[in-house]
Amino acid sequence: MNASGGAGRDARRRLAALLAEIEQADDALELFARASERLRSIVPFDAAVWRATDPLTGMMTHPVRVENLGEDGCSVYWEEELLTENVNLFSDLARAKVPTATLHGSTGGLPDRSTLYRAFLRPRGLNDELRAVARADGNPWGQISLFRARESPVFGADDTRVVQRVSAALARRLRSFAEPRLDGDPAPSSGPEPGLLHFAPSGALVSFNDAAHQYLTELAEAGGGEPDTGNALRMAIPAWIHSTVSKARAIASGRDRGSARVRVRGRHGRWLVCHASCLRTVDGEPGASVVVIEPASISEVAPLMVRAYRLTDRELEITQHIARGLGTAEIGDRLYISPHTVRDHIKSIFEKTHVASRGELVAKLFTEHYAPLSEGREQRILD
């Protein structure tokens, strides 16, 4: 991108239009579509993946927009990212001062140093990746992966700066989508049985129960989703489940810490939690993996909601005490602060969450089965 003269002014105008477009999107998939169309005219790319992430863990959730990439590489991408790669990891970028980087820039122009390049990019005719973590208030709300083919120039410093600005705006808009509204339809009821999926060490789906099929149907797009060509059961497996399985294998192999746990919002608005565990063979080696999907508890959803509203740690504490039914004096005693200070915090909480009473606050933040209709879909685009 030429930053001087008429070309520079034109690029700045297009970037301003892109940032304004981001603020107009009504949901995450529309956000990704608008941002992609505008960004391509400023920072050309040949393929891309736009992902929402769980801000508590940084792991990919839904929705996901995939452009000009087939389905065959999802498990390969995340296996390399979590088990072998050491260049531009999303987990590192999420904490970096600048959460944006290019593959060629980080390897000194020697992309073969990257296992992801050797296993994923090169076999697909791709030569460079520009990736960014969409971060707001220190929390990762999304990820962007832009790819260029071999015949295209590698990404440069100007490209990185543009994507960094776009990713920050993207994060703020994604954060706003996490705010619950109470105008949706009630989610369909389901029994207490968790959804179970069994994956082979290769990452292929081996078996699943009826509850898992129900949950995945809820998460799939209205047309039923795309079948995963890698499993003989012909069941649609979202990309974020593959990444969660890979995360579990990375933890079991000692390459990663934390939990292979992610929160997702279903088509009917209720929050679900998905957690994966990697089993071990009798020899102690990582083997098959099991994924459990079940409705999220209040304790799972509450921290996510308060991040969406930008509550402080103290405001989060007070909100949780309000949800438990404690009065002003009781909250003050628990937190060793005066009732007057508690009231000041409650006033701030009400302003940030746009409510007028404690009951409305609890309903807005913690009701699990009344929430906005959410797309919750993976969208695959081929030019």
**pLDDT tens string 278-326:** 999 888 888 999 999 988 766 666 677 667 788 888 988 888 788 667 7
Taking only the tens place, the pLDDT of each residue in 3-36 is 455 667 888 888 999 999 999 898 888 999 999 9
CA separation for the pair 142, 51 (Å, rounded): 5
**Candidate CATH numbers 3.20.20.70, 3.30.450.20, 3.40.50.300, 3.40.640.10; the one for domain 195-297:** 3.30.450.20
Residue 341: Cβ within 10 Å count: 15
Question: What is the band of 186 on the pLDDT scale with cuts at 50, 70, 90?
Answer: very low
Summarised one tens digit per residue, pLDDT across range 88-106 is: 989 889 889 999 999 999 9
Range(s) within the chain of domains with CATH label 1.10.10.10: 299-366
CA dist., res. 45 & res. 36, Å (int): 10
| CATH no. of 5-180 | 3.30.450.40
334's tokens: 């628990």
Q: Interhelix angle for 328-335 vs 339-353, to 10°?
A: 110
- Scanning the chain, the segments in alpha helix (DSSP H) are 5-24, 28-40, 74-79, 90-93, 103-106, 115-116, 157-177, 210-219, 239-252, 298-308, 313-323, 328-335, 339-353, 358-366
The total of other beta-carbon atoms located within 10 Å of residue 132's CB is 27
Every domain range in the chain assigned CATH 3.30.450.40: 5-180
pLDDT at residue 295, rounded to an integer: 80
Average per-residue pLDDT for the chain: 82
**pTM attached to this predicted model:** 0.63
CATH of domain 299-366: 1.10.10.10
CATH 3.30.450.20 residue window(s) in the chain: 195-297
- pLDDT given for residue 230 in this prediction: 52
